Chains A and B, each alone.
Chain A
Amino acid sequence: MLKLIIFKELREIILSTKFAATFGVCSLLIIMAFYTGIKNYQSSVQEYNASKAALFSQFETAKDWREVPRLTVFLPPNPLASLVMGISNDIGRAAVIYDSGYQAFRDSVYSVNPVFAVFRFLDLEFIFLIVLSLFAILFAFDAINGEKERGTLRLSFANSMPRATYIFGKITGSFLALALPLLIPVMTGLLLLPLMEVPLSVNEWIRLLIFIICGLLYLGVFLTLSVFISSITKRSSSSFLFLLIIWVCSVLIIPRAAVLLSGNLITVPSTSKIYYQRVQMQMNNIQELLKRANEQINKIAQEMAASGDTSPEAQKRYTDKMSEVYKNLQEENDKKISAYISRLHEERYNKQKQQERLALGISRISPATVFTLAATGLCGTSLELRNNYEEKVLTYSGIYSDFISGKQSQPAQDNIVKETVNPREIPDFYYQPKGFSDILKDALPDITILLVFNIILFCGAFIAFLRYDLR
């Protein structure tokens, strides 16, 4: 009987106009997302290679490593990022490294093409998050109360059919009917990847498949939610309205409200505030520094006067001593300021992390956030991308700094005809994304939450239907 209900549900949906419309829209959007994603990836690869080549060419004229003041490193394109973009378009793809450290990232996709910042790209995450979740509601908002309105519920239950079988069949059938218009274009899109020569490793294929499973789980949440709401409301128009409100809250309001709330609860000092504090500290210190310098200089002057030795050697000795005092005080001051700035930055970083954790924690009550986090985590475009990239650039800037210091400390050979520097000697910048097990470990809590949402809502729909008034 379960099979019969599932097939009936599947057949009823497939024969409906809404299915035809859904299938058409889904196919168009998904294949378009794959195609444009692949094209974007290919142009990113070209741009990446061109930028690297251009970087080397800029060293061609340099005769000495002292003429190489800075180096730009680039974030290599990630094929999965073209399908689930996450923050990959927001962060700068290039980081400029000086011998003293690195500057902020620059040349983000959106800064280069601001029009995309307004309209954003169409990617698989957007299609799942917005379009397909709405379709899930459209498929199931009248699953129970609609059947009652049409009179088919009474007619069905005039037969010896257990309620549990019916609701289980109904949810399963609706889910399959929803998965079908999704999986066919997704499979077509996946086929495009090797056909258009996008190099995906086994690990990336697996991550892509897990992402699709996450998408199905996310749709399952809205589907079971729709069946649940349909089981606790009398009219299909009411359930549609409730579901629309829940969708708006879940997809649009909760994630933004959570960020706002956490922003109000935890204040992160701005960079300009840190700069102001640094200037304040420097000004305060300079007074102190001058006072201490004067004291020590006076002491040396008194010492000099007391000794009565006015020979040039003695004068030089005292001048050196004074210079030493200045130098020591300056170094001490620099250390103090540097420690203070580090502490300010660390505090800012910790606050930022705290704020981020709080925002994500609150917004996880929304399945939309959970799905976004799981999807971007799996495709390597989550907030972790920036942290990971920053960490790698920091490590590399140390390596580069050592390299360039070593090169620049070599004595200049003025009497020898100089050859140009060999940029191949510069240590390579490797951006190693997180390993598969780490990515999976990070995404697992969100996948589990999606699963829990499904189980809870399925049980809710199940129990609500067992108590449903069939009359």
Chain B
Amino acid sequence: MTESINAGTNNTIVLEADKLTKRYEDGVLALDELSFTIKSSEIYAMLGANGAGKTTTINLFLNFIEPTSGEARVMGIVTHKEPLLAKEKLAFVSENVMLYQNFTAIQNLDYFAKLGGKKNYTRDDYRNVLLRVGLQEEAHNKRLKGFSKGMRQKCGIAIAILKDAPAILLDEPTSGLDPKAGYEFIQLLDNLRSEGKSILMSTHDIFRAREIADTVGIMNQGKLVMQAGRDELTDKDLEQLYMKYMAGHMEAAA
């Protein structure tokens, strides 16, 4: 690859939610004064049931929706005020990466890399990044039509890597991946962290979250109900806390 990684130092706050609130037109409060910060070389895992507000948070960072109040900031840039500038600092991998089915893996990478402003990559760069995410060479020039979900996911991650943005947003990235692919994915996130990337990941997978995240936040009905560092949690604690906050099983925790 020809471009360098653009990440801050260890103490730089890259992603920040500041009293982020979103109420939809139908009155549903999707997010209620959510606040957190993610520094460089840090992985933040957002856990929560469906409708807890995880995807809404990601949508606010991507400015797909505007906040009712509060701010989402990327490297200090308020996303709804300067969305195009903020998106330059963001890469995104969605839950079900489909990409363009008539394009090969390399053609997809080429398009999205250019869309992300990276125009100098060569085919070798694309091959290298695809190998890095674990996509075998014989698949590089095949159309995505025949790709499995795991293979598509790898392409999605490769696109995020190629963008070389300081922050990466992952929306349910491990859903549907087999254990091997899931393991490889965790290894990859670890590598990205060591390169200085800040990662915000929404997931249902509490064990993978515990395994990789520096900080785990549990969300329920739009609120961040618990936040803890990895060292503070054991797998058992996390499972109990998750059940308690996610499903409202207060007694279970007691």
A residues with a Cβ closer than 8 A to B are: 1, 4, 8, 11-12, 15-16, 150-152, 154-162, 469-471
Contacts and interface: CB of A to CB of B under 8 A. Distances in A.
Most buried by B among A16, A152, A157, A158: A158
B94 interface: yes
Given A4-B111, A162-B84, A11 B96 contact: no
B231 to A, nearest CB: 32
B114 interface: yes
A159 B156 contact: no
Given A471-B64, A471-B65, A160 B87 contact: yes
A366 B96 CA distance: 41
Contacts of A8: 100, 111
B159 A155 contact: yes
Contacts of A470: 64
Interface string B78-97: 00000111111011101011
B117 A159 contact: yes
A423 to B, nearest CB: 68
Given A157-B62, A157-B64, A471-B65, A150 B98 contact: yes
A15 B111 CA distance: 15
A12 B98 contact: no
B48 interface: no
B90 A158 contact: yes
Contacts of B122: none
Given A150-B100, A155-B156, A471-B55, 15 more contacts: A4-B111, A12-B103, A15-B103, A150-B98, A150-B99, A150-B101, A151-B94, A152-B98, A152-B99, A157-B62, A157-B64, A158-B87, A158-B91, A161-B84, A471-B64
Contacts of B115: 1, 4, 156, 159, 161
Contacts of B175: none
A331 to B, nearest CB: 83
Contacts of A161: 84, 87, 115
A15 B103 CA distance: 8
A150 B94 CA distance: 11
Contacts of A157: 62, 64, 87
Most buried by A among B90, B98, B156: B98
B227 interface: no
B102 interface: yes
B94 A154 contact: yes
B59 interface: yes
Contacts of B92: 154-155, 158
B147 interface: no
A281 to B, nearest CB: 73
Contact of A4 (B86, B91, B101, B114): B114
Given A151-B96, A154-B64, A16 B117 contact: no
Contacts of A4: 111, 114-115
B121 interface: no
Nearest to B90: A158
A306 to B, nearest CB: 108
Contacts of B159: 155
A18 to B, nearest CB: 10
A270 B166 CA distance: 81
B116 interface: yes
B96 A12 contact: no
A32 B59 CA distance: 52
Nearest to A19: B102
Contacts of A162: 84
A156 to B, nearest CB: 6
A325 to B, nearest CB: 93
A160 B114 CA distance: 11
23 contacts: A1-B115, A4-B111, A12-B102, A15-B103, A16-B102, A151-B94, A151-B98, A154-B62, A155-B99, A157-B62, A157-B87, A158-B62, A158-B90, A158-B169, A159-B163, A160-B83, A160-B85, A161-B84, A470-B64, A471-B55, A471-B59, A471-B64, A471-B65
A1 B90 CA distance: 18
A329 B92 CA distance: 99
B240 interface: no
Nearest to A3: B114
A470 B100 CA distance: 17
A155 B103 CA distance: 15
A8 B102 CA distance: 11
B102 A15 contact: yes
B128 interface: no
A11 B103 contact: yes
A9 to B, nearest CB: 10
Contacts of A160: 83-88, 117
A160 B90 CA distance: 9
A152 B88 contact: no
Contacts of A15: 102-103, 143
Nearest to B63: A157
Contacts of A150: 98-101
A4 B112 CA distance: 10
A26 B246 CA distance: 57
Contacts of B100: 8, 12, 150, 152
Contacts of A471: 55, 59, 64-65
B107 interface: yes
A15 B163 CA distance: 25
The 3 closest A-B pairs by CB, nearest first: A158-B92, A160-B84, A15-B102
A150 B98 CA distance: 6
Interface in B221-246: none
Nearest to B102: A15
Interface in B18-64: 55, 59, 62, 64
A155 B94 contact: yes
Most buried by A among B59, B83, B107, B115: B115
Interface string B162-205: 01000001000000000000000000000000000000000000
Contacts of B156: 155
A234 to B, nearest CB: 15
A139 to B, nearest CB: 13
Contacts of B62: 154, 157-158
